[in-house]
Structure 1
Amino acid sequence: MRVVVARCEVTYSGRLDAYLPPAARLLVLKADGSVLVHSDGGSYKPLNWMSPPCATTVEAPADSDPAGATEVWRVRARRSDDELRVVVHEVLHDHSVDLGVDPGLVKDGVEAHLQRLLAEHVDTFGAGYRLVRREHMTPIGPVDLLLRDATGAHVAVEVKRRGEIDGVEQLTRYLELMNRDPLLAPVRGVFAAQEIKPQARVLASDRGIDCVVVDYVALSGRDDPTARLF
């Protein structure tokens, strides 16, 4: 990866035309060929960019280029006529580094992690609960957790990161089918998520489904009570 801070102006031509007047900007050239133009704002989103496959060439400025230009980058797309043209006036910083092969993003707190943690800590739902099985299959798909409560009655738990109406509807369909099975019925439903939308709570209450908000950090054992103010 090459990272350049330069005073430059940028023109994009092709499917649309765009122009960035002269200013100090961050130019990022990645090993995959992509080129991104950033300002000191706008969060992660570049002002303009060229996605691969593309090729970059560096040329001396032509007579028609603005006065003071020191070099011109021409970034051409290989599958279209799009072109990103960067006219560099002054390079303030230029650094290259080999980042190597990236191992990829490992997401934490996804539904599979929540399901595993809740299966290990079924007391989250109340005293006396025990796990029957994870991924209990129904005719239309698996419900995340099948539990028994302190009285021995079955409880079906659907786990989501973000609890919305669709998740409640999904659990409702599972419960309807599970309650037709004389070996399981009666089966109660619990909708568990890190965050549950108000509309989902209303629908769950109407369907007789309990809602449980899960504190993922505390459940995973990474919460330090001594660090809390309250």
Structure 2
Amino acid sequence: MRILICDCSVDYSGRLTAHLPMASRVIMAKNDGSVLIHSDGGSYKPLNWMTAPCTISEREVEADEAEAGITQVWTVKHTKTADQLVIKIATVHDDISRDLGIDPGLEKDGVEAHLQELLAAQIEILGPGHRLVRREYPTAIGPVDILARNSDGVAIAIEIKRRGEIDGVEQLTRYLELLNRDPLLAPVTGIFAAQEIKPQARTLARDRGIECLTLDYDTMRGLDDADSRLF
């Protein structure tokens, strides 16, 4: 991984266009090919990013750019789409490169991990015709618990929690923003699944077009027959 703390501007072009004016930011270039631009705020959500697979090239600084204090110009191009970032770097405050090695991955709470396993095996809980694509679907900001498709072939990102709160909805929202930039997946809908979902989390999910699903852990494990209950 390479991390630059620098003054930079960023121009994105693709499905839309966006511009970040010159300011002090952090640029993260990961070994998987992804590039993320962060500010000193906004939690851990990047201001802009390019997911792998992509290529990074550096060109000569033009005369007018040099007069404006630009010292480097990076062009980050996605290899499967027309998306690209042009990063113009002025002052570099720090430049760090380090090999982080192979990450062992996120170890989830035992119940959350088991819920994920059970839902993946019983994906029909979502409705007839649903099929599993993959558990722990990788993205540049972390793995999505489950990626599935419904009977119409629409992709569904599922975030699973033991207790569903607002931060879980925010997490799923970030995954959806990223996944919907992939033309091979978009449009991607979201399902927030938990044993218990707080009212505030349901309200936020509804506002963002995310479906909520309450999971019955005992029934999914075959320890409780819901059909034979009196109440």
Give the TM-score taking structure 1 as reference length.
0.52
Aligned twin of 2:58: 58
Aligned to 1:102, the other structure's residue is in SS state coil
- Residues 75 and 164 of structure 1: CA distance in aligned 2, closer, same or farther (over 3 Å): same
Q: Matched residues, percent identical?
A: 48
Aligned twin of 2:32: 32
Note the 1:146-161 alignment, pairs <5 A: 161=162
Aligned twin of 1:96: 97
- Residues 168 and 16 of structure 1: CA distance in aligned 2, closer, same or farther (over 3 Å): closer
> Aligned-pair distance for 1:170?
8.7
- Residues 106 and 66 of structure 1: CA distance in aligned 2, closer, same or farther (over 3 Å): same
Aligned partners of 2:38 and 2:48 also within 8 Å: yes
Aligned twin of 1:49: 49
Provide, for residues 97-118 of structure 1, a one-character-per-residue CA deviation record: whole Å limited to 9, x for no partner. Answer: 001111111102425679xxxx
Structure 2, unaligned runs of 5 or more: 116-123, 126-160, 164-194, 198-212
Aligned to 1:110, the other structure's residue is in SS state helix
> Aligned-pair distance for 1:82?
1.4
Give the TM-score taking structure 2 as reference length.
0.52
Structure whose CA Rg is larger: 1
Aligned-residue CA RMSD in angstroms? 3.2
Aligned twin of 1:22: 22
Provide, for residues 45-95 of structure 1, a one-character-per-residue CA deviation record: whole Å limited to 9, x for no partner. Answer: 000011111000112212353631101011011112211010011100000
Q: Partners of 1:55 and 1:8 in 2: how far apart?
A: 19
Aligned twin of 2:177: none
Q: Partners of 1:90 and 1:176 in 2: how far apart?
A: 64
Aligned twin of 2:186: none
Bigger drift between 24-33 and 103-112 goes to 103-112
Provide, for residues 9-31 of structure 1, a one-character-per-residue CA deviation record: whole Å limited to 9, x for no partner. Answer: 11111111100111100000000
The residue type equivalent to 2:13 in the other structure is S
Note the 1:82-121 alignment, pairs <5 A: 82-111=83-112
1:81 aligns with 2:82: yes
